Amino acid sequence: MTNGPDAIVIGSGFGGAVVACRLAEAGYKVVVLERGRRWEAATYPRALGDAWLWDQAHPDRRNGWLDMRLLRRVAVAQGAGVGGGSLIYVNVSIEADPSVFERGWPAEITFDELKPHYATVGRMLGVATIPRQQWPARTALMAEAARKVGHGERFGTVEQAITFDPTWSPDEPGAHDASRSRRFTNAYGREQGTCVHLGECAIGCPVLAKNTLDLNYLARAESHGADVRPLTVVRSIGRTDDGYDVHVERIEGRDLVPSTERARIVVVAAGSLGSTELLLRSRDVARTLPGLPAGLGKGWSTNGDFLTLGWHGDREVFPTRGPTITSAIDFRDGSAGGHPFIIEDGGFPDLLAAYRRGPRERFSPWRRRRLLDRSVRGLVEDEGGSFEHVMPWFSQGRDAADGTMRLRPRWGFFGAPGLTIDWNVKQSRPMLEAIIAMHRRLAESIGGRPMLPATWRLASYLITPHPLGGCRMGTNPGEHVVDHTGEVFGHRGLYVADGAIVPTALGITPSRTIAALAERIASGIVSAGR
């Protein structure tokens, strides 16, 4: 191979951005193929008609911010764009409990082994905890509830990839005005601002206080020559004499233009669903990689995610204010009902306020109609709008990780094959019940009324933003897909480096662990001289 890249990285989230950065720094010629757009603060979706959704089957029609898969027993939310899940995530960056690695992982992967990589990721992402004087009402409420149920020592603020300004105070007049965000150039040469608690973490921070991957790892990769190509959907991978062909469709307006890229190293980092689907298609549909391991698709996990809403009629919670998550109550020692889990304060963006703040020129005349404008203003100026008494209690626990991803015809026996997940809540139900019981205790301890989501009450249906597994790391190709270095069994130079390789639930938000694993995989590729 002469003129082509040394390495192709598929996907630019927590796995892909890290590997692209480290390989480019080491002198590899790197191409990053990313299905989504390159987003900027001015283009984040805000108005009704903006590009909110991604459609994996028809990316030429919809190639927006959120890839929401409504599957039969579970729904999965994922980001799409340069920076992957870091664009949409709510910045919590924490290490897994050491006990996680004691079962279900290859012997080489221990907490001590990952520790230096966790530290590197923390530095690159600029993690920090929210300053005490900036605690939003939710954080104080969490601390109070933890104390009231006798677990005050388990409460703490969490590390987040956010740039805070320690001199900023929410109590000053106009504190939440974007002009109060302090502008600066970060260590990777990108413009950012400090957090002024706009509460829009999940829809793109308008002042760029989120330290997203496009502003650090990918910026560094590009400064070392990496070629990041947005709107490039990878459809299958095939083998060549000394490497791999990567078959892509580039989104050009309403057209999908096919082409093929070639490299001796391919790192699949399209996320738990994306990487597994791509490899399943390559093995079973395109049949270009027929020898992929039988373990492909197995061991999928929801990461034990669960959300309940607490109604606190006599308290002001303001869930739309401040970083979307700030703190946690830690039961990872299994002391609550025998199941390790963590509880976080949740928030959500005030879409109407965000709409009003969005760039005016993107609003069509009918959206600017006086009536709507007036009603939006009414809600925004109502100190947090109508949700002010709602407290989202959010958790992750260690589920059974017993789902299986498959390709099946979309309409039963007919239609093009689409990704499905066979997942049954049965094995994980006791863990979820333990979480629900603790949410209830916490909400009631501070005079709230806990409400279970209707999706759970009526259908035991779960929604997860933290999918894991499908290309699990391990030792047995019948059950796993990659070894401890991230290389696919029997496929020299083909790696998976993202949430798909995580073989068990982590029971915490997973991005820091995914990035730490990717750091280890990248250093393995470089030190092996691949």
> Which residues of this protein are in contact with ligand FAD, per CB under 6 A?
10-16, 33-36, 77-81, 84-85, 88-92, 202, 233-234, 269-272, 274, 278, 325, 465-466, 498-499, 509-511, 514
Tell me the closest approach of the beta carbon of residue 418 to ligand FAD, in angstroms.
13
Choice between 342 and 446, CB closer to ligand FAD: 342
**Distant-in-sequence, close-in-space partners of 343: CB < 8 Å, separation ≥ 6:** 142, 328, 329, 331, 393, 394, 395, 435, 438, 439, 442
Q: Rounded to 5 degrees, what are φ and ψ at 96?
A: -70, 155
Which residue(s) pair with 361 in the sheet?
Answer: none
Choice between 202 and 431, CB closer to ligand FAD: 202
Distance separating alpha carbons of residues 354 and 194, to the nearest angstrom? 18
Distance separating alpha carbons of residues 483 and 489, to the nearest angstrom? 7
Choice between 13 and 193, CB closer to ligand FAD: 13
Tell me the closest approach of the beta carbon of residue 64 to ligand FAD, in angstroms.
11
Q: In what order do the strands lie in the sheet with 74-79?
A: 66-70, 74-79, 462-464
Tell me the closest approach of the beta carbon of residue 372 to ligand FAD, in angstroms.
26
Query: DSSP secondary structure string, 327-360?
Result: EEEEETTSTTTT--EEEEE-----HHHHHHHS-G
Tell me the closest approach of the beta carbon of residue 370 to ligand FAD, in angstroms.
33
Choice between 346 and 384, CB closer to ligand FAD: 346
Tell me the closest approach of the beta carbon of residue 255 to ligand FAD, in angstroms.
17
Which residue(s) pair with 409 in the sheet?
Answer: 417
Choice between 30 and 514, CB closer to ligand FAD: 514
Distance separating alpha carbons of residues 92 and 286, to the nearest angstrom? 38
Tell me the closest approach of the beta carbon of residue 431 to ligand FAD, in angstroms.
19
Choice between 24 and 273, CB closer to ligand FAD: 273
Residue whose structure tokens are 């027929």: 290
What SS3 state is found at 321? coil
Tell me the closest approach of the beta carbon of residue 468 to ligand FAD, in angstroms.
8
Choice between 81 and 477, CB closer to ligand FAD: 81
For 77, the enclosing helix (H) or strand (E) is strand 74-79
